[in-house]
Amino acid sequence: MSSDSLKKRKSKVLRSEGGTPEMKRGRGDGDPQDLRVYSEEVELDGRDPEQDFLQYKESCESLATLMSEIQDLKASGAKEGCAEIEQRRMQSCIHFMNLKKLNRLAHMRLKRGRDQTHEAKQRVDVLHLQLQNLLYEVMHLQKEISKCLEFKSKHEEIDLVSEEEFYQEAPQEICRPQLTKNDPHQLTLARLDWELEQRKRLAEKYKESLTTKEKIQKTIEVKKEHLRSLQPGLNNIMQASLPVQEYLSMPFEQTQKQTEIARHLPPPLYVLFVQANAYGQACGEQNGSVSILDRNLCISISGDVDEAKALSKPPEDSQDDESDSDAEEEQEKTKRRRPTTCGQLDDKRREMLKRHPLSLCLDLNCKDGSFLHLYFYYLMNLNIITVKTKVSTTIDINMAISAGELLKSDTLLSCLYTNDQGRETPNPANRYQFDKVGIVTFADYVEELGHPYMWVQNLGGLQFPSDVSEGVRVGSSLSASHMERTMKLLRGRVQSRLALHKQFASLEHSIIPVSSECQHLFPAKIISRLARWTTITHQEYMDLPYTRHVTGAGLAKETDLYFMAVVERGTARLQAAVVLSPRYPEISPLFSLSLSWKGERSGRTDDNLRAMESEVNVFKNELQGPRPGHQLLTNQLARLCVCLDVYLETEGHDDSVEGPREFPREKMCLRTVRGPNRLKPFKYNHPQGFFSHR
User: Using a CB cutoff of 8 Å and minimum separation of 24, what contacts does 64-69 make?
Assistant: 66/91, 66/92, 66/95, 67/92
Q: Are the beta carbons of 456 and 386 closer than 8 angstroms? A: yes
Out of 199, 596, 670, 686, point to the residue binding other proteins (CB under 8 A): 670
Helix, strand or coil for residue 99? helix
Question: Which of these ranges, 32-40, 45-53, 390-398, 647-655, lies near other proteins under the rule CB under 8 A?
Answer: 647-655
Nearer to other proteins, 462 or 544 (CB): 544
Residue 379 amino acid letter: L
Distance in Å, CB of 604 to other proteins, minimum: 5
Q: How far is the CB of 686 from other proteins (least distance, A)?
A: 14
Task: Indicate the residue among 357 and 589 with the shorter CB distance to other proteins.
Answer: 589
Using left for φ > 0, alpha for ψ between -120 and 50, and beta otherwise, residue 610 falls in alpha
Spatial neighbors of 74 by CB under 8 A, at least 6 apart, are 85
Between 366 and 613, CB nearer to other proteins: 613
Nearer to other proteins, 92 or 617 (CB): 617
Please report which residue ranges of 508-546 form alpha helices under DSSP H: 538-543
Q: Is 690 in the site for other proteins (CB under 8 A)?
A: yes
Q: How far is CA 531 from the centre of its chain?
A: 65
- Among positions 538-557, residues that touch other proteins (CB under 8 A) are 549-550, 553-555
Contact assessment for residue 425 and residue 569, using Cβ atoms and an 8 Å cutoff: no
Of 528, 468, 475, 507, the closest CA to residue 633 belongs to 507
Nearest-angstrom CA–CA distance, 518 and 45 = 169
Is position 661 an interface residue for other proteins (rule: CB under 8 A)? no
Q: Does 288 bind other proteins (CB under 8 A)?
A: no
Q: How far is CA 182 from CA 177, 190, 195, 305, 332, in A?
A: 9, 13, 20, 83, 93
* 286 interacts with other proteins by CB under 8 A: no
656 near other proteins (CB under 8 A): yes
Which is nearer to other proteins, 343 or 675 (by Cβ)?
675
Continuous H helices in 158-251: 163-169, 172-175, 177-180, 184-248
Among the listed residues 54, 120, 618, 626, the single contact to other proteins using CB under 8 A: 618
Contact 615, 591 (CB under 8 A): no
The residue among 363 and 607 lying less far from other proteins, judged by its C-beta, is: 607
Kindly state whether residue 485 participates in binding other proteins, applying the rule CB under 8 A.
Answer: no
For residues 410 and 403, give the distance between their C-alpha atoms in angstroms, rounded to a whole number.
Answer: 13
Applying CB under 8 A, which part among 33-41, 166-174, 479-487, 650-658 lies near other proteins? 650-658
Question: How many amino acids of this chain bind other proteins (CB under 8 A)?
Answer: 31
* Contact partners, residue 361, CB within 8 Å, separation at least 6: 299, 300, 301, 302, 373, 374, 375, 376
For 47-81, give one letter per residue: b (16+ CB within 10 A) or e: eeeeebeebbeebeeebeebeebbeeeeeeeeeee
689 binds other proteins (CB under 8 A): no
User: Which residues neighbour 392 within 8 Å (Cβ) at sequence distance 6 or greater?
Assistant: 370, 371, 373
- Backbone torsions φ then ψ of 355, nearest 5 degrees: -95, 155
Q: State yes or no: residue 692 binds other proteins (CB under 8 A).
A: yes
User: Among residues 390 and 693, whose Cβ is nearest to other proteins?
Assistant: 693
Nearer to other proteins by Cβ, of 32 and 552: the residue is 552
Among residues 80, 173, 655, 658, the one that binds other proteins under rule CB under 8 A: 655
User: By CB under 8 A, which span of 251-259, 570-578, 636-644, 648-656 interacts with other proteins?
Assistant: 648-656
Give the binding range for other proteins (CB under 8 A) out of 90-98, 102-110, 184-192, 685-693: 685-693
Of 101, 100, 111, which is closest to residue 40 (Cα–Cα)? 101
Task: Return the residues of window 554-613 that contact other proteins according to CB under 8 A.
Answer: 554-555, 588, 590, 604-605, 607, 610, 613
Q: Which of residues 133, 236, 302, 677 is near other proteins by CB under 8 A?
A: 677
Q: At 30, which helix (H) or strand (E)?
A: helix 2-30
Among 102-110, 150-158, 201-209, 668-676, the segment contacting other proteins (CB under 8 A)? 668-676
Least distance in angstroms from the C-beta of 490 to other proteins = 25
Q: Rule CB under 8 A: is residue 31 a binding residue for other proteins?
A: no
673 binds other proteins per the rule CB under 8 A: yes
| Dihedral over alpha carbons 450, 454, 460, 463 (to 10 degrees) | 140
Q: Is 263 in the site for other proteins (CB under 8 A)?
A: no
Among 243, 652, 659, 687, binds other proteins (CB under 8 A): 652
Angle at 134 between CA 129 and CA 139, to 5 degrees: 125
- Based on C-alpha coordinates, what's the Rg of the chain? 67
Length of the chain: 694
Residue closer to other proteins, measured from CB, 147 or 627: 627
Per-position x/- string for 148-187, each x denoting binding to other proteins as judged by CB under 8 A, each - no binding: ----------------------------------------
- Name, in order, each residue with C-beta under 8 angstroms of 264's C-beta and a sequence gap of 6 or more: 305, 308, 309, 311, 312, 358
Rounded to a whole number of angstroms, the minimum distance from the CB of residue 693 to other proteins is 7
Cα 106 from chain centre: 107
Q: Which stretch binds other proteins (CB under 8 A): 515-523, 529-537, 564-572, 686-694?
A: 686-694
Task: Determine which residue in the list 7, 223, 678, 686 makes contact with other proteins, applying CB under 8 A.
Answer: 678
Which of 472, 316, 435, 311 has its CA nearest to residue 380? Answer: 311
Please state the closest distance from residue 631 (CB atom) to other proteins, in A. 19
Nearer CB in complex with other proteins: 190/579 = 579
Stretch that binds other proteins, among 8-16, 338-346, 614-622, 635-643 (CB under 8 A): 614-622
The answer to whether residue 342 forms part of the interface with other proteins (CB under 8 A) is no
* Binding-site member from 337, 654, 660, 687 for other proteins (CB under 8 A): 654
| CA–CA separation, 38 and 487 (whole Å) | 149
Residue 524 as a binder of other proteins (CB under 8 A): the answer is no
Contacting other proteins (CB under 8 A), which of 19, 471, 626, 675?
A: 675
Q: Residues interacting with other proteins, by CB under 8 A?
A: 549-550, 553-555, 588, 590, 604-605, 607, 610, 613-614, 617-618, 652, 654-656, 670-671, 673-678, 690, 692-694
